[in-house]
Chains A and B, each alone.
Chain A
Amino acid sequence: MFGSITTDMVLAILPEIALLVLIAVVFVTDLVVDEKRRGILAWTSIIGLLITMLLTAFFAQPGAEAETLWGGMLRHDWLAYVSKLIFLFGALITTVFTLNWDSVRFKGEFYVLLLTSTLGMTLMGASADLIMLFLSIETTSIPLYVLAGFLTDDDRSTEAGFKYLLFGAMTTAVMLYGFSLLYGFAGSTGLYEISAAIGAGQIPAAALAGAAVLVLVGFGFKVAMAPLHFWAPDVYEGAPTPITAFLSTASKAAGFVVLTRVMIAAFSSVQAEWQLMLAIAAVISMTLGNLVALSQTNIKRLLAYSSIAHAGYALLGVIAASELGAASVVYYFLVYVVTNMAAFGVVIVVSRVIGSDEIADYAGLSRRSPGLALVMLLAFLSLAGIPPLGGFIAKVLVFAAAVQAEFVWLAVIGVLNAIIGLYYYLIVLKVVYLTPGKDEQKALPTPRPQAVALVVSIVLLLLMGTVFAPWYQWALNSASALF
């Protein structure tokens, strides 16, 4: 327990250390630089995040065997490694999207909060203990509450922040109650020790399944699955759009990493029970998300319901509780993060020029900016699951995992839902490409940094759909760390 600190231990938390240094640098820069030159804050964050990503990619790579370090608090395995890279990428693209946005880019606290939330996520991806898990979830959530309500002169933003906080605080309290019961059953807070204690002990399955329900309430909120999705549309609509992008990608992915790890590691003795609960949640999420999305007129709300539906698809991989299932969840989020970042990137650029998030105002976008329209086309087709884009492979994998685990009925419902989904994505694309708009002659310029971020996302999206092997190897490595 009191062993000395080894290089391995430090390398395992290298991303966290780098982020912490970056947070301190942004803080100090904000203090010493005068107000007119604070534009460098965003660039500091971008360069810092790039360096953190490179350091993580090259030095924090785990070995073949998963290790539990820092007194059992953190797990150093491939799942943690890949998920950390996903979160850092999400934070990086989000920061790029805030450039040229005057209401936040001169505010150091915005970037500090964003980076702190990312730090929480990287810890979430590696948590191996109930204490660490609770703290990392809160380190992620509390800054996000503030960020969602960051635009204090906009009623909808403060309302979004407050709703997010209320739902978040309540579901966290329920989850914590579940954790306390779990501690009581097992006598230990280590996720991997809990499973051993439960496997050996004589805890009634009903009590354990009850604790699983309480814990799932907390995780379900983070991933915005039905029936815990009520906050998502309002928060997505009201929050500043880059934060919406961050919430719907990195924050959701973090929730899924934790969900997969905890369900498989700690609740393996009541697997049939939680599989059934999650199957019901997945069916409601997919069906409700897709059906309600059909009637949306605001693009951010449409993407919110679409993200609820996508939580449902990804749940199929968790439900399978197999190596293929866990790999499909990781692959799903590799793809989903780049796809949704591209989709929200277009929304951010367009809404800064036309000042509206209504789908009707996207009419004629293909004439005003063919590039943005093309990005939107590719991102939406990937969300709908059309080959040769990443979304297709991701969907095939989760459905295959469900079929392999003998949940054929779930896969069938998933495929039917994918067809409904295709309909509303195509409706938006029809407005973008075919409907005549009023200002068709006026070009709609994309600022260079945003254009670079969009191109990077789209290239990754195409790569994940065509050059399938290296990404799948990452996903498989992550999955094998769990079993």
Chain B
Amino acid sequence: MVPVSYYLALAAILFALGALGVLIRRNAIIIFMSIELMLNAANLLFVAFARSFESLDGQIYVFFVIAVAAAEVAVGLALIVTIFRTKHSIDIDELSSMKG
């Protein structure tokens, strides 16, 4: 069996990539993809730990996370479409009508 530490390392890399993407990229859709990457890093850990503990809790958790992530993306895309209609751009630096 592949040791859990390998999964820990892979999840940490995925999470760091996702976090970097959120911080560096300015395109709203790419930011969303990066957030998905972060969520999936957590999912990978849950599944790996569930396997090593031989318990189902972690696996069930992942199902819920996938469902919630889908709902979040649906709301996010709806808001992106609304913003695109008025601004004709999904660059998040354009979102600066409020200051102070």
**A interface, CB within 8 angstroms of B:** 130-131, 134-135, 138, 142, 145-146, 149, 152, 155-156, 158-163, 165-166, 169-170, 172-174, 176-177, 179-181, 183-184, 187-189, 233-234, 237-238, 295-298, 301
Contact sample, A vs B, 27 pairs, CB 8 Å cutoff: A130-B61, A131-B61, A131-B64, A134-B61, A138-B72, A149-B79, A155-B87, A158-B79, A159-B83, A159-B97, A161-B79, A162-B83, A166-B76, A169-B76, A170-B35, A170-B38, A172-B72, A173-B42, A179-B42, A180-B11, A180-B49, A181-B45, A183-B57, A187-B49, A188-B57, A189-B57, A234-B98
> At the interface, yes or no: B6 with Cβ under 8 Å from chain A?
no
B57 close to A173 (CB less than 8 A): no
Judge whether B95 and A162 touch: CB under 8 Å: yes
What distance in Å separates the Cβ of B89 from its nearest Cβ neighbour in chain A? 12
| Complexed CA–CA distance, A20 and B82 (Å) | 29
Q: Which residue of A165, A174, A233, A234 is within 8 Å of B75 (Cβ)?
A: A165
Q: Is the CB of B18 within 8 A of A163?
A: no
List the B side residues contacting A135 at CB < 8 Å: 64, 68
Residues of A within 8 A of B4 (CB): 184
Q: Is A184 a contact partner of B49 (Cβ separation < 8 A)? A: yes
Residues of chain B with a CB closer than 8 A to A130's CB: 61
A residues in contact with B49, CB < 8 Å? 180, 183-184, 187
Majority secondary structure, A binding face? helix
B76 touches A165 (CB 8 A): yes
Interfacial chain B residues near A181, Cβ < 8 Å:
45
Do A142 and B72 contact each other (CB < 8 Å), given the known contacts A183-B57, A233-B100? yes
A170–B46 alpha-carbon span in the complex (Å):
18
Majority SS at the chain B contact face:
helix
B92 interface hit (Cβ, 8 Å): yes
* Beta-carbon contact of B95 and A159 below 8 Å: yes
Contact A187 B45 (CB under 8 A): no
Distance A180 CA – B97 CA, assembled complex (angstroms) = 37
Inter-subunit contact A183/B46 (CB<8 Å): yes
Please report the C-alpha to C-alpha distance between residue A145 and residue B75 in the assembled complex, in whole angstroms: 8
B71 touches A138 (CB 8 A): yes
Q: Which of B4, B19, B100 has the most CB of A within 10 A?
A: B100
Query: Which residues of B have CB within 8 Å of A131?
Result: 57, 60-61, 64
**Are A166 and B61 neighbours in the complex by a CB distance under 8 Å?**
no
Q: Are B38 and A173 in contact (CB under 8 A)?
A: yes
Q: Give the distance in Å from the alpha carbon of A180 to the alpha carbon of B87 in the complex.
A: 38
Residues of B within 8 A of A160 (CB): 98
Per the bound structure, the CA–CA distance linking A131 and B57 in Å amounts to: 9
Q: Could you tell me if B39 and A176 are in contact, using CB atoms closer than 8 angstroms?
A: yes
In the bound complex, CA of A181 to CA of B65 (Å):
15
Give CA–CA (A421, B72) in the complex, Å.
37
The chain A residue with its CB closest to the CB of B31 is: A166
From A155, A166, A173, A188, B18 is in contact (CB under 8 Å) with A173
User: Roughly how many angstroms separate A189 CA and B53 CA in the complex, as a whole number?
Assistant: 12
Residues of B contacting A163 in the complex (Cβ-Cβ under 8 angstroms): 95
Contact call A177/B15, Cβ cutoff below 8 A: yes
Residue contact B65 to A165, C-beta cutoff 8 Å = no
The answer for the CA separation of A180 and B42 in the assembled complex, in Å, is 6
Please encode chain B, from 28 to 40, with 1 for each CB lying within 8 Å of some chain A CB and 0 for all others: 1001100100110
Whether the Cβ atoms of A165 and B42 lie closer than 8 Å is no
Residue from A169, A180, A295 in contact with B72 in the complex, judged by beta carbons closer than 8 Å: A169
